Chains A and B, each alone.
Chain A
Amino acid sequence: MKKILYLSIVVILTSCMPNKNKSKEINIYSQRHYNVDELQYQNFEKMTGIKVNVTKANADELIQRLKNEGENSPADLFITVDVGKLWQASDMGLFQKFEDKSVFENIDPQFLDKNGFWVPVTYRSRVVVYSNERVKKDDLSTYEDLANEKWRGRLLVRSSSNAYNQALVSSLVANLGVENTSNWSEAVVKNFARDPKGSDRDQVKAIAAGQGDIAIVNSYYIGLLLSSEKEEEIKAGNAVSVFFPNQDDRGAHINVSGLALTKNAPNRENAIELIKYLTSVQAQETYVNNSYEYSVNPSVKPDPIVQEWGEFKKDPVDLNMLGIKRDEAIRIFDKTGWK
């Protein structure tokens, strides 16, 4: 009995031995778990012979792991789908600046980090979609207008624990100030057609089902619905149209999915090579055609489905604000009862 116990303790302890890093490797902590990412890493491995190791989990869990592992962290790159988390981790001192500016070569400068800590890979807009049956395009104008009484009981959106909503409201705080945003949120909550729940796609389906008339969603979800193989999902996607708010003033809110080099990246050179690959035309086209996101490489056009929505003006606010203002956004959510 005791022998088994000792044995199992020994087994546990020996299996705890640290993973040694080899030089032809790169270790990634990623929040992205789309198929397209796996495809990209495979292509990169084929091209360069550098093996890509990935641990995928929630962004905050990975940040916690990075922070606690400190100098010993095996991770070279941190990838997330919300720039707010990139700012947060850079603010915690978990990243290093890019000394080699050639990593930015492929990227449209408007999406770059002013502090030089992170690199965008794709971007998406958080747009308003509206029922083709019950809403006229002219009724829509800005995010601010969603607080208008005419939308009472008609607006659909998911929970405030979702990072995309947090980023959107952070951008409003940055643009309009805390008090205005708070008043806005209070009125918007009154306009909710139902308690916030479900995913972005569920909001679109709810419009199709007649449970509401307009919804706040990420642009690529419409692309995913329209390219679905299920007839009913395509129908739901076709029941709505995409509207980019604030085109006459600051522009529609955008968020980037991006990556950063960890403070003590053991395979720094390999990591930089991967970044250059992921922002190259070839890799960007793969992203754009699989996930319906927008490319940060100016020479890559969106997928045809996305192109149909037309070009749009983007909110030029410093993207780091989406992290800096998050605390205030959360408090506004809680104070105004946005569940």
Chain B
Amino acid sequence: MEIVKKYITNRGKLIFSTVFLSLFVILPILALVFSVVKIDTSNFQYLWDNLLFEYSLDTIYLITITSIFSLLFGILPAWYMSTNEFKFKNIYDIFLYLPLAIPAYIMAFTYSDVLSYTGPIQSFSRKYFPDFADLINQDYLQIEVLGIIMALSLYPYIYTACRLSFSLIGANYINLSRSLGMSRLKTFFKIVIPLSRVAIFSGLFLIIMEVLNEYGAVKYFGVNTFTSGIFRSWYSMQDVETASLLAVLLFFIVVFFFSIERYLNSRYKFNYTPNTKKFKNEPPSFKNRFIIHLVCLIPIILGFLIPVLFIINNVIYEFSRIDFIKVFNLTTNTIIISLIATLIILVIAVYFQFLKRILKNRTITFFNEVISLTYALPGAVIGLSLILLFTSYPFENELLIGSFGILVYAYVIRYMAVGISPLKSSFDKHPSSYDDTAFNLGMGPTKLFRSIHLPINKSAIAIAFLITFVDIIKELPITLILRPFNFDTLAVQTYEYAIEEMIPKSSIYSLAIVMLGTILLIFLKKIVNKEIDVPKSK
């Protein structure tokens, strides 16, 4: 600490810069809070009396189902992947990431079409197995089905986190536990899961945020979540202030749970020697092999292969009518705008992590958490907050809404958390003696960053870049509400067709999203695997 003080003379300025940047990110929330001040509470009272209780119950139920299935789809394959050797392991490993390339709303629209009365499954059963048709011909637009569908597109957040965490734990703990007579099952629940708690929760946090955010699919399935309440007041009751109040409320509920979790986790903070020894990968028995393949294949088939094959089938069917120039233009639009936003996010996120580390300042740590929490706001609400902000003093005479700058700004606000999360764990991992030594050797902070932190956190930066990029490619509500004239992205075009129930027409655009995402995720997987791969210890 003393050393740092000696070498960093402009400490105050640096801290101020992070506060300034944080305000830049959370300004829209302040705009929302400000608009709430003028509220007439009658509509809120009305929603409170009539709907919010039921909406909250549905929200909790949906979150529960999605979480349980995400954990199942994520943890189990990650566990087998880390502790066993089996055929196709590397292929499975790639495919288990890929559902992340499919936006949740595309997954929902696709499955509702696949499962619908006129979809392939029900039609097939009616045609060839009329006796069983009644059993299969059900109404699949149910909250439980929606929960599973959302889990299928979100579980990779858990899988990625667990994959990293399990391999960091290494074999020592496991072997010790086994030799003390604990069963495999007990070892898993008593040792592996508690040690991976933090990682699992960080994945789960993103998943819960996504569920809270979802509106399109939720509405289609006839489910009302808390977010439905926001849109009920905005769209149906034309009361923007009440919508803002609900959004602010949602934000603070998330902050509350987030803080509790942080508090609990900090009490359980423990260090473990990471990864001293690789798992001894015994070839599993026949029965176990069967289970392993089943556990890995279910999320792959349901989460990636079925939806993608369905999309490809539609593309083939529509092929002669596809406007490839348009597909190309929209792909370019999507890539450029996502790239700009991602780079800005990364610069801010890295800047925060680095300063937090070398300055060890509470203000920075605090604001670093704060700027992650905007992820809890639904995209449309961020859009609303920017409209409120940039059409009032001192911007009222500028035409800012509908410019690229504001659109990018909105992405930055929305996806800051996604960029920060992998960086945070990586920057926190390395001992602070690195910095002290560097300062003692006479390095300035810029040099310290360039010659030490940039190289040792290279993988984390790449992971943050890829995950953020994939997420922004899929972004929908913000783009819809804030985009400039005549500006379309792949996600927007997909949505516009899908909402008119022209799923086949939307397919080429969703395929482009999925392909872009897939390419990026394959890179991601390579980097993650490099992290996992340990030097062989004898």
Q: Interface on A for B, CB 8 Å cutoff?
A: 1-2, 4-5, 8, 11-19, 27, 33-35, 53-61, 64-65, 68-70, 72, 74, 88, 158-161, 166, 194-199, 201-202, 205-206, 208-211, 224, 230, 232-233, 235-236, 326-327, 330-331, 334-335, 339
Contact = CB atoms under 8 A, between A and B. Distances in A.
Contacts of A4: 347
Contacts of B398: 16, 18, 72
A53 B392 CA distance: 25
Nearest to B120: A232
15 contacts: A1-B351, A11-B405, A19-B485, A54-B485, A55-B485, A60-B234, A61-B383, A64-B384, A72-B398, A161-B232, A196-B222, A197-B221, A232-B119, A233-B118, A326-B236
A159 B228 CA distance: 12
B219 A161 contact: yes
Contacts of B380: 61
Contacts of A201: 501
A330 B242 CA distance: 15
A13 B220 CA distance: 38
B449 interface: yes
Contacts, number: 161
Nearest to A13: B405
Closest 10 interchain pairs by CB?
A197-B222, A18-B399, A68-B391, A15-B405, A53-B485, A16-B405, A232-B118, A209-B117, A205-B117, A33-B496
A74 B391 CA distance: 13
B403 to A, nearest CB: 5
A61 B480 contact: yes
A13 B122 CA distance: 54
Nearest to A323: B238
Nearest to B412: A12
Contacts of A33: 496, 499-500
Identify whether the interface residues of A are mostly helix, strand, loop, or mixed.
Answer: helix
B15 to A, nearest CB: 14
Interface in B452-486: 480-481, 483-486
A55 B387 contact: no
A70 B396 contact: yes
Contacts of B388: 68
Interface string B414-433: 00000000000000000000
B123 interface: yes
Contacts of B238: 60, 88
A211 B117 CA distance: 10
Given A19-B399, A64-B240, A201-B501, 17 more contacts: A1-B449, A8-B344, A11-B340, A27-B485, A33-B500, A59-B235, A64-B387, A65-B401, A74-B399, A161-B228, A198-B141, A198-B220, A202-B116, A205-B118, A210-B137, A224-B501, A331-B46
B400 interface: yes
Nearest to B479: A57
B367 interface: no
Contact of B387 (A68, A166, A206, A210): A68
B409 interface: yes
B231 interface: yes
B404 interface: yes
A16 B222 contact: no
A202 B118 CA distance: 10
Given A61-B480, A161-B231, A334-B51, A19 B446 contact: no
Nearest to A59: B235
B283 to A, nearest CB: 47
A159 B347 contact: no
A282 to B, nearest CB: 23
A53 B486 contact: yes
Nearest to B146: A197
Given A5-B347, A64-B387, A197-B141, A56 B222 contact: no
B173 to A, nearest CB: 39
Contacts of B273: none
A276 to B, nearest CB: 22
Interface string B479-495: 01101111000000000
Residue of B112, B348, B402, B446 with most partner-chain A CB within 10 A: B402
Contacts of A331: 46
Contacts of B231: 161
Contact of A19 (B118, B235, B397, B402): B402
Nearest to B318: A229
Interface in B112-134: 112, 116-119, 122-123
B54 to A, nearest CB: 9
Contacts of B139: 194, 206, 209, 211
A74 B398 CA distance: 11
B391 A70 contact: yes
A161 B236 contact: yes
Contacts of A166: 236
